[in-house]
Protein backbone atom coordinates (compact mmCIF):
# COMPACT_ATOMS: atom_id res chain seq x y z
CA UNK A 1 0.00 0.00 0.00
CA UNK A 2 2.90 2.37 0.70
CA UNK A 3 3.92 2.04 -2.95
CA UNK A 4 0.43 3.11 -4.01
CA UNK A 5 0.60 6.21 -1.82
CA UNK A 6 4.09 7.03 -3.11
CA UNK A 7 2.81 6.80 -6.67
CA UNK A 8 -0.14 9.08 -5.88
CA UNK A 9 2.15 11.67 -4.29
CA UNK A 10 4.49 11.49 -7.29
CA UNK A 11 1.59 12.08 -9.70
CA UNK A 12 0.33 15.04 -7.68
CA UNK A 13 3.81 16.53 -7.44
CA UNK A 14 4.24 16.29 -11.20
CA UNK A 15 0.90 18.03 -11.83
CA UNK A 16 1.55 20.85 -9.36
CA UNK A 17 5.10 21.48 -10.50
CA UNK A 18 3.98 21.68 -14.12
CA UNK A 19 1.78 24.68 -13.21
CA UNK A 20 -1.35 24.79 -11.09
CA UNK A 21 -4.48 26.15 -12.76
CA UNK A 22 -8.13 25.12 -12.52
CA UNK A 23 -7.70 22.12 -14.82
CA UNK A 24 -4.62 20.89 -12.96
CA UNK A 25 -6.37 21.35 -9.63
CA UNK A 26 -9.27 19.21 -10.85
CA UNK A 27 -6.80 16.47 -11.81
CA UNK A 28 -5.31 16.58 -8.32
CA UNK A 29 -8.82 16.36 -6.84
CA UNK A 30 -9.50 13.29 -8.97
CA UNK A 31 -6.41 11.57 -7.54
CA UNK A 32 -7.62 12.51 -4.05
CA UNK A 33 -11.01 10.95 -4.93
CA UNK A 34 -12.77 14.20 -4.09
CA UNK A 35 -16.39 14.91 -5.09
CA UNK A 36 -16.76 16.58 -8.46
CA UNK A 37 -16.07 20.31 -8.65
CA UNK A 38 -16.44 21.98 -12.01
CA UNK A 39 -13.56 23.84 -13.61
CA UNK A 40 -15.80 26.90 -13.91
CA UNK A 41 -16.40 26.97 -10.15
CA UNK A 42 -12.69 26.64 -9.43
CA UNK A 43 -11.83 29.47 -11.81
CA UNK A 44 -14.32 31.79 -10.11
CA UNK A 45 -13.58 30.61 -6.58
CA UNK A 46 -12.66 33.25 -4.02
CA UNK A 47 -11.19 32.10 -0.73
CA UNK A 48 -12.10 33.67 2.60
CA UNK A 49 -8.56 35.00 3.03
CA UNK A 50 -8.90 36.85 -0.27
CA UNK A 51 -11.70 38.95 1.26
CA UNK A 52 -9.37 40.24 3.99
CA UNK A 53 -7.62 43.64 3.73
CA UNK A 54 -4.21 41.97 3.76
CA UNK A 55 -5.04 40.38 0.43
CA UNK A 56 -5.31 43.84 -1.12
CA UNK A 57 -1.73 44.54 -0.05
CA UNK A 58 -0.50 41.12 -1.12
CA UNK A 59 -2.89 39.48 -3.60
CA UNK A 60 -2.82 35.73 -4.03
CA UNK A 61 -1.22 34.39 -7.17
CA UNK A 62 -3.34 31.78 -9.00
CA UNK A 63 -0.98 29.05 -7.79
CA UNK A 64 -1.27 30.22 -4.16
CA UNK A 65 -5.05 30.29 -4.45
CA UNK A 66 -5.24 26.71 -5.72
CA UNK A 67 -2.70 25.45 -3.17
CA UNK A 68 -4.74 27.03 -0.37
CA UNK A 69 -7.86 25.41 -1.81
CA UNK A 70 -6.23 21.99 -1.94
CA UNK A 71 -4.91 22.32 1.64
CA UNK A 72 -8.35 23.08 3.08
CA UNK A 73 -10.31 20.76 0.78
CA UNK A 74 -8.08 17.82 1.64
CA UNK A 75 -9.22 17.78 5.27
CA UNK A 76 -12.79 17.16 4.10
CA UNK A 77 -11.77 13.89 2.42
CA UNK A 78 -11.29 10.36 3.84
CA UNK A 79 -7.67 10.30 2.65
CA UNK A 80 -6.82 13.00 5.20
CA UNK A 81 -7.05 10.29 7.89
CA UNK A 82 -4.50 7.98 6.24
CA UNK A 83 -1.20 9.02 7.82
CA UNK A 84 1.21 7.48 5.25
CA UNK A 85 -0.48 9.62 2.59
CA UNK A 86 -1.75 12.68 4.43
CA UNK A 87 1.53 13.82 5.98
CA UNK A 88 3.51 13.61 2.71
CA UNK A 89 0.66 15.36 0.88
CA UNK A 90 0.54 18.27 3.32
CA UNK A 91 4.32 18.49 3.22
CA UNK A 92 4.23 18.65 -0.59
CA UNK A 93 1.75 21.54 -0.50
CA UNK A 94 3.56 23.34 2.32
CA UNK A 95 6.86 23.26 0.47
CA UNK A 96 5.21 25.15 -2.39
CA UNK A 97 2.89 27.45 -0.44
CA UNK A 98 4.78 28.54 2.68
CA UNK A 99 7.40 31.27 2.53
CA UNK A 100 9.78 28.50 3.59
CA UNK A 101 9.31 24.90 4.71
CA UNK A 102 12.19 22.77 5.98
CA UNK A 103 12.62 19.04 5.70
CA UNK A 104 10.54 16.45 7.59
CA UNK A 105 7.59 18.77 8.26
CA UNK A 106 4.79 16.84 10.01
CA UNK A 107 1.28 18.26 10.03
CA UNK A 108 -1.88 16.59 11.35
CA UNK A 109 -5.43 17.32 10.19
CA UNK A 110 -7.49 20.49 10.50
CA UNK A 111 -4.58 22.93 10.61
CA UNK A 112 -5.64 26.32 9.25
CA UNK A 113 -3.80 29.47 8.25
CA UNK A 114 -4.98 32.50 6.31
CA UNK A 115 -1.81 33.36 4.36
CA UNK A 116 0.56 30.44 3.88
CA UNK A 117 2.95 32.75 2.05
CA UNK A 118 3.73 34.53 5.37
CA UNK A 119 4.57 31.31 7.24
CA UNK A 120 8.13 30.05 7.71
CA UNK A 121 8.88 26.68 9.32
CA UNK A 122 12.27 25.07 9.86
CA UNK A 123 13.30 21.43 9.79
CA UNK A 124 11.42 18.74 11.74
CA UNK A 125 8.54 21.03 12.77
CA UNK A 126 5.35 19.41 14.08
CA UNK A 127 1.77 20.77 14.00
CA UNK A 128 -0.85 18.70 15.83
CA UNK A 129 -4.59 18.73 15.13
CA UNK A 130 -6.68 21.88 15.21
CA UNK A 131 -3.88 24.47 15.09
CA UNK A 132 -4.87 27.94 13.84
CA UNK A 133 -2.26 30.37 12.55
CA UNK A 134 -3.21 33.95 11.84
CA UNK A 135 -0.18 34.58 9.66
CA UNK A 136 -1.08 38.06 8.38
CA UNK A 137 1.78 39.64 10.36
CA UNK A 138 4.16 36.74 9.76
CA UNK A 139 4.91 33.57 11.75
CA UNK A 140 8.37 32.01 12.03
CA UNK A 141 8.88 28.60 13.65
CA UNK A 142 12.35 27.21 14.28
CA UNK A 143 13.79 23.73 13.81
CA UNK A 144 12.25 20.87 15.80
CA UNK A 145 9.61 23.10 17.40
CA UNK A 146 6.10 21.78 18.03
CA UNK A 147 2.56 23.15 18.28
CA UNK A 148 0.21 20.81 20.15
CA UNK A 149 -3.55 20.41 19.69
CA UNK A 150 -5.67 23.55 19.28
CA UNK A 151 -2.84 26.06 19.60
CA UNK A 152 -3.78 29.55 18.40
CA UNK A 153 -1.34 32.16 17.11
CA UNK A 154 -2.42 35.73 16.28
CA UNK A 155 -0.38 38.38 14.51
CA UNK A 156 -2.85 41.23 14.07
CA UNK A 157 -5.15 43.44 16.11
CA UNK A 158 -7.77 46.18 15.69
CA UNK A 159 -7.90 49.69 17.14
CA UNK A 160 -10.67 50.09 19.71
CA UNK A 161 -11.79 53.38 18.16
CA UNK A 162 -12.01 51.99 14.62
CA UNK A 163 -12.19 48.39 13.55
CA UNK A 164 -10.75 49.47 10.22
CA UNK A 165 -7.45 50.48 11.85
CA UNK A 166 -5.29 47.38 12.02
CA UNK A 167 -1.85 46.59 13.36
CA UNK A 168 0.42 43.65 12.54
CA UNK A 169 3.29 42.10 14.49
CA UNK A 170 5.11 38.82 13.78
CA UNK A 171 5.24 35.85 16.14
CA UNK A 172 8.47 33.88 16.41
CA UNK A 173 9.02 30.48 18.00
CA UNK A 174 12.57 29.32 18.56
CA UNK A 175 14.12 25.96 17.80
CA UNK A 176 13.18 23.07 20.12
CA UNK A 177 10.37 25.07 21.73
CA UNK A 178 7.03 23.42 22.46
CA UNK A 179 3.65 25.13 22.66
CA UNK A 180 1.25 22.83 24.50
CA UNK A 181 -2.45 22.16 23.86
CA UNK A 182 -4.86 25.07 23.78
CA UNK A 183 -2.25 27.78 24.32
CA UNK A 184 -2.63 31.16 22.60
CA UNK A 185 0.20 33.39 21.41
CA UNK A 186 -0.63 37.06 20.86
CA UNK A 187 0.86 39.44 18.25
CA UNK A 188 4.53 40.32 18.54
CA UNK A 189 5.46 37.52 20.94
CA UNK A 190 8.75 35.65 20.72
CA UNK A 191 9.10 32.25 22.38
CA UNK A 192 12.80 31.54 22.82
CA UNK A 193 14.74 28.43 21.91
CA UNK A 194 13.88 25.34 23.97
CA UNK A 195 11.17 27.26 25.87
CA UNK A 196 7.88 25.62 26.87
CA UNK A 197 4.41 27.19 26.98
CA UNK A 198 1.98 25.31 29.22
CA UNK A 199 -1.44 24.13 28.07
CA UNK A 200 -4.15 26.78 28.04
CA UNK A 201 -1.77 29.68 28.54
CA UNK A 202 -2.22 33.09 26.91
CA UNK A 203 1.18 34.52 26.03
CA UNK A 204 1.29 38.31 25.77
CA UNK A 205 5.02 38.85 26.41
CA UNK A 206 8.22 37.18 25.23
CA UNK A 207 9.26 33.88 26.82
CA UNK A 208 13.05 33.68 27.29
CA UNK A 209 14.98 30.66 26.02
CA UNK A 210 14.88 27.49 28.17
CA UNK A 211 12.06 28.86 30.33
CA UNK A 212 8.55 27.55 31.09
CA UNK A 213 5.64 29.99 30.88
CA UNK A 214 2.13 29.29 32.17
CA UNK A 215 -1.11 31.07 33.03
CA UNK A 216 -3.45 33.80 31.79
CA UNK A 217 -1.63 36.00 31.10
CA UNK A 218 1.38 33.70 30.93
CA UNK A 219 4.29 34.29 33.29
CA UNK A 220 7.65 32.58 33.48
CA UNK A 221 7.41 30.05 36.33
CA UNK A 222 10.71 28.19 36.13
CA UNK A 223 13.55 26.96 33.95
CA UNK A 224 12.97 23.99 31.64
CA UNK A 225 14.17 20.74 33.18
CA UNK A 226 16.47 19.60 30.38
CA UNK A 227 18.64 17.27 32.43
CA UNK A 228 21.63 18.99 30.89
CA UNK A 229 20.48 18.21 27.36
CA UNK A 230 20.06 20.64 24.49
CA UNK A 231 19.18 20.63 20.81
CA UNK A 232 18.86 17.15 19.28
CA UNK A 233 19.59 15.59 22.67
CA UNK A 234 16.08 16.67 23.72
CA UNK A 235 14.73 14.00 21.35
CA UNK A 236 11.98 16.01 19.69
CA UNK A 237 10.77 12.99 17.72
CA UNK A 238 7.12 13.38 16.75
CA UNK A 239 6.06 10.24 14.91
CA UNK A 240 7.74 6.92 14.18
Percent helix, strand, coil in the chain, to 5, is 35, 20, 45
CA distance 99 to 116: 7
3-state secondary structure 223-234: ECCCCCCCHHHH
- 158 is annotated as an active-site residue: yes
Residues 6+ apart with CB under 8 A from 104: 123, 124
In the three-class reduction of DSSP (H, G, I as helix; E, B as strand; rest coil), residue 74 is classed as helix
Question: Annotated catalytic residue: which of 68, 158, 205, 236?
Answer: 158
Does a cis peptide bond (omega within 30 degrees of 0) precede residue 10?
Answer: no
Helices and strands in the chain: count of H runs, count of E runs: 6, 19
- Phi first, then psi, for residue 191 (nearest 5°) are -105, 120
- The per-residue b/e assignment along 137-157, b for 16 or more CB within 10 angstroms, e otherwise, is bbbbbbbbbbbbbbbbbbbbe
The residues, ordered by sequence, that sit 6+ positions from 234 with a Cβ below 8 Å of its Cβ are: 144, 176, 194, 226
- Residues annotated as catalytic are 158
Amino acid sequence: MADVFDQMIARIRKIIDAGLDADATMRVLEILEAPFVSEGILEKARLYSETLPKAEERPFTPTERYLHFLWDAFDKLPLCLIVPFSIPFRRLVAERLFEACGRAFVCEENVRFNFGQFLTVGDNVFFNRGVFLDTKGGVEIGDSAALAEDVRIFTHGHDEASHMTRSYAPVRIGAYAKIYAGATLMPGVTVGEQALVASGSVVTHDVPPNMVAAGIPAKVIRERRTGGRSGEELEHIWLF
